[in-house]
Chain A
Amino acid sequence: MVALSPLTPDASPDRAEVVVLPTQPAPPRKRPSRLVAFRRFATGRLAPPLITLAILIVLWEVLASGPNAGLPPPSRVVSDTWELITDPFYVGRGIDQGMFWQILASLERVAIGFAIAVVVGIGLGALIGQSRWAMRGLDPIFQVLRTVPPLAWLPLSLAALRDGNSSAVFVIFITAVWPIIINTAVGIRNIPEDYRNVARVLRLSPLEYFGKIMIPAAAPYIFTGLRIAVGLSWLAIVAAEMLIGGVGIGFFIWDAWNSSRISDIILALVYVGLIGFLLDRLVALAARLVTRGTAST
């Protein structure tokens, strides 16, 4: 470890001096204390979005405060919906429930529909990724079906299932399944030949191959599909619930519109946005945990 002594301009050149360099290793660089780290995080990461948000809210307040404004300003929204904000666990009759229960009902439908889509999507994706014949047979059909808008499936599922709730779940399923199928298939088609050869030399059974090679190798692709799928599901549930009614954030918005409670709608949109963001992050986090090491081959 060599420490350089700083150059001092006033040192006269004729006077040479033996400088003893410190021999003990320099102390390890101290990690910034927690407080300093937090301050750096606050100014670097936290401040920009907060300031932007504040500016937008002020702008909105100004624009919506005029006499002819169609939408309430944020201050009105908060005062109008104060009861909803402060009592999310309110239990009333019928669809008169607190925000927590509304969102929970929607999340439940998404969870069921999404879970079925994961199982079916990975299964079908594995099939068409693995078998050229299955790909040629199914891929064109999938490519056409996946462009059908989610809500277009709703009447059909209502006719077939005769139940609003199951139909909403079906809409979620049919929305989420395509990106999962397609990404899984691509992931499996991209498994390096080497891994297949390893599996063949080891004589892994098809089931072992599926669990030990195929799924982990394709996991980064599968998770990309899951992330797209969860976003689409959350988009679709709000629309589907508007049509089927019952408890749920979608119908809450529709109901608020019918009773001209614009502030409630705005609050609901904020919640919908936050939950959608959280769902996306949740899947991203799961992906990071599951695919540790896989991505960097």
Chain B
Amino acid sequence: MANKYLSVELVDKSFERGGSTTEVLRQVSFVVDRGEFVSIIGHSGCGKSTLLNIVAGLTPATTGVVLLDNRVVDAPGPDRAVVFQNHSLLPWLTVYQNVRLAVDKVMAGKGKAERHEWTMRNLELVQMTQAAGRRPAEISGGMKQRVGIARALAMQPKVLLLDEPFGALDALTRAHLQDQVMQIHAELGNTVLMITHDLDEAVLLSDRIIMMTNGPAAHIGEILEVPLPRPRRRLALVSDPTYLRCRAAVLKFLYERHRLVEAA
């Protein structure tokens, strides 16, 4: 029962536009266990985000099926909360209200005080309580992404979907947020599926890394186990042989065997 919490089975996706069909994903299958942190890595344009959207239920798969906790995914829902690449906070709501919107929806049956408390708990988790009254336009990119994470966590999802969550951030902020995500993952034991194109991020955070081949018709090239014990420390890992081996493996996959062929 612990196995195959989330399973993606033989998913194909093709888009049709003006009579021509583009095959984006071909025969993608993988499983994610409960509490596992899995990353999907690949060059841009390989259909990673499409795959995440299929798991989220935002995009239907052409064929194949996604199962979460033994139930078929056919529509988006709060059990698969997404942290979007560009935070997608609602700019007319404050930080607090953005999280509260999710809380109100997920805990509709609960009392007001309880919902308030849960909102604050999740803001605390990402250390954003001091900025609760501010609007997204008034806070930094890293802070916005933290609020996005708080909003997703507040839904108590079965699986947390991260769509290149730190892609738009500077290196220092990114490192800080990665540490925070690791800490939250250790604390709450969430099941996480993350899209990334940063191989250090993938190795640092994941239990397993799914490597995608280049599109069109991208498929899973290889799945790499990252047998590093947790908690992981960024500095200690710099010279860790296992870390370096994993990093080299991903590097080889991405730049030797599936180099992005530049369009001529």
Q: Which of A136-175 contact B (CB under 8 A)?
A: none
Name the B residues within 8 Å of A204 (CB-CB).
105
Using a CB-CB cutoff of 8 Å, which residues 173-208 of chain A contact chain B? 192, 194-195, 197-198, 200-204, 208
Contact in complex: A197, B92 (CB < 8 Å): no
Q: How many positions in chain A have a CB within 8 Å of any CB in the partner chain?
A: 22
A217 to B101, CA, bound (A): 15
Majority secondary structure of chain A interface residues (helix, strand, loop or mixed): helix
Query: Does any Cβ of A come within 8 Å of B35's Cβ?
Result: no
Task: Name the residue on A nearest B85 (C-beta).
Answer: A194
Question: A294 contacts which of B77, B91, B102 (Cβ < 8 Å)?
Answer: B91
Is B27 interfacial (CB 8 A cutoff)? no
| A212: min CB distance to chain B, Å | 7
Of the candidates B56, B92, B105, which one forms a contact with A202 in the assembled complex, judged by CB atoms under 8 Å apart?
A: B105
CB-CB under 8 A from B92, the residues of chain A are 216-217, 219, 291-294
> How distant is A213 from chain B, measured CB to nearest CB, in Å?
7
Q: Is A296 in the interface zone, CB < 8 Å from B?
A: yes
Say yes or no: A212-B84 contact (C-beta < 8 A), given A201-B56, A201-B77. Answer: no
| Contact string against A for B residues 125-149, beta-carbon threshold 8 Å, 1 for contact and 0 otherwise | 0000000000111000000000000
State how many residues of chain B have any CB contact under 8 Å with chain A: 25
A68: interface (CB < 8 Å): no
On whether the beta carbons of B90 and A195 are closer than 8 Å, the reply is yes
- Docked Cα-Cα span, A169 to B103, in Å, equals 44
A194-B84, A213-B90, A216-B90 as given contacts; A203 in contact with B105, CB under 8 Å: yes
Q: Tell me, in angstroms, the Cα distance from A292 to B138 when the chains sit together.
A: 12
Residues of A within 8 A of B135 (CB): 292-293
Closest chain B residue, CB of each to CB of A192: B88
A 202-261 contacts with B by CB, 8 A: 202-204, 208, 212-213, 216-217, 219
The residue on B at minimum CB distance from A216 is B92
Given contacts A201-B76, A201-B77, A297-B137, contact A194 B91 (CB under 8 A): no
Q: Is the CB of B88 within 8 A of A202?
A: no
A12 and B91 alpha carbons, distance in the complex (Å): 61
**Is B64 among interface residues, defined by CB-CB distance under 8 A?**
no
B81 contact set on A, CB distance < 8 A: 201
Give Cα A219–Cα B137 distance, bound, in whole angstroms: 17
CB pair B90 A197 closer than 8 Å: no
**Which B residues from 94 to 136 make CB contacts under 8 A with A?**
101-102, 105-106, 135-136
**Residues in A neighbouring B26, C-beta threshold 8 A:** none
Residues in chain A near residue B80, CB distance under 8 A: 201
B residues with a Cβ closer than 8 A to A are 56-58, 75-78, 80-82, 84, 86, 88, 90-93, 101-102, 105-106, 135-137, 155
